[in-house]
Structure 1
């Protein structure tokens, strides 16, 4: 579904990713883990076209993504929720959601998608006419995910969705992702520092350190590897 081969990315003289290779299976949740500065955010930004690759190849559903503009990648079925969510606080909850499907021409399906988001996130339905600035941190993260899902993507890129959230809210968001995978077949690449939460719902995980893949295995095996967890995952 998503193939990343020998990917290299640099910020000036600093190489952020160095020969990274990742395979993401269709309909699965793949966790990308590692400490600050490991290259996790750069990886997602490169997949979605926000940062150019210096070398390597990214293909999604048989289509080459490297070199494409972000809007073309989004229209091809890739949705990206950046760290912090990026909701527009001056707009209402409903306006934020509608932005997620602005480029889609099927008005009836856009309306159906919005109804689905309110069913998925009841707290947003109760505040649909309120400015996003009035939402809690957890509700803003739900809004950011809902806005991304409005485009009906096949691939969802999530960058640190648990950042700054209480454990109960984090567990709820992880549960929603697991349910979405089960009910819609959505493919998810989940970047997280909260490795335990991510691996609890993932099928497979990759561990990055200083821009390189240092470990790859099933989520269960990564959780069971005490040496790896202590060295790279912090628990």
Structure 2
């Protein structure tokens, strides 16, 4: 029997009042893949992640399935229990809490106290700069360190699918490359599946298996990362490189 995709999106539509933000989006991501979601500002990329993660309700007729289970319209906390973690644009760390307190918050839904401690130690090993700053308030971190903390906090929930929104936003190229390598290492080491929203389309396609391109809430192209990179018309029209 063929294993179901870890994430399947069928006919996903979403609106904000009278404005249609997503239009019948279909998408399939298999276990251990990294999938890019690309497009210009306002294309619907962030809305797609918010809808999948339970933060934004979809229109009737939409379906989101995780490992074959229909999770459409489940609230965000229930999606974490189903193995979906969402790192929003900007990371969303709590500046007033310490690095360690932020980290442990990520494990509240899926881990006991002892397991949270062990998982936090694993995250500090994965992100050495955070280990050195574990007692500092998150508001004192650099942009790159905050992004590491946001990813580490999401990984505390032991997700099967990581939804990652614009991790390179505002970061130096060196830090961006480090984060992209981290995603590849996590996929290779743990089989983590990643859906990566990125404004930096060329950088995203260099580390992903496949992707789709959104324009005005609809899918205008999809395929392997190599195919999308080779499509000059699509790149110039929608991705700006």
Q: Aligned ranges for residues 30-109 of structure 1 at < 5 Å?
A: 30-55=35-60, 56-109=62-115
DSSP-derived class of the 2:196 partner: strand
DSSP-derived class of the 1:54 partner: coil
Unmatched 5+ residue regions in structure 2? 1-5
RMSD: 0.8
* TM-superposed deviation, 1:105: 4.1
Unmatched 5+ residue regions in structure 1? none
Task: Please give the TM-score of this superposition, normalised by the length of structure 2.
Answer: 0.96
Q: 1:117 to 1:105 in 2, by over 3 A?
A: closer
CA distance in 2, matches of 1:109, 1:219: 37
CA distance in 2, matches of 1:214, 1:71: 31
Q: Aligned ranges for residues 8-47 of structure 1 at < 5 Å?
A: 8-47=13-52
DSSP-derived class of the 1:67 partner: coil
How many residues of Structure 1 are paired with residues of Structure 2 in the alignment? Answer: 235
Task: Please give the TM-score of this superposition, normalised by the length of structure 1.
Answer: 0.98
Runs of 4+ in 1 over 6 A off after TM superposition: none
* TM-superposed deviation, 1:97: 0.2
Question: Are positions 1:6 and 2:34 aligned together?
Answer: no
2:196 pairs, out of 186, 190, 196, with 190
DSSP-derived class of the 2:163 partner: strand
1:210 pairs, out of 197, 211, 216, with 216
CA distance in 2, matches of 1:140, 1:153: 20
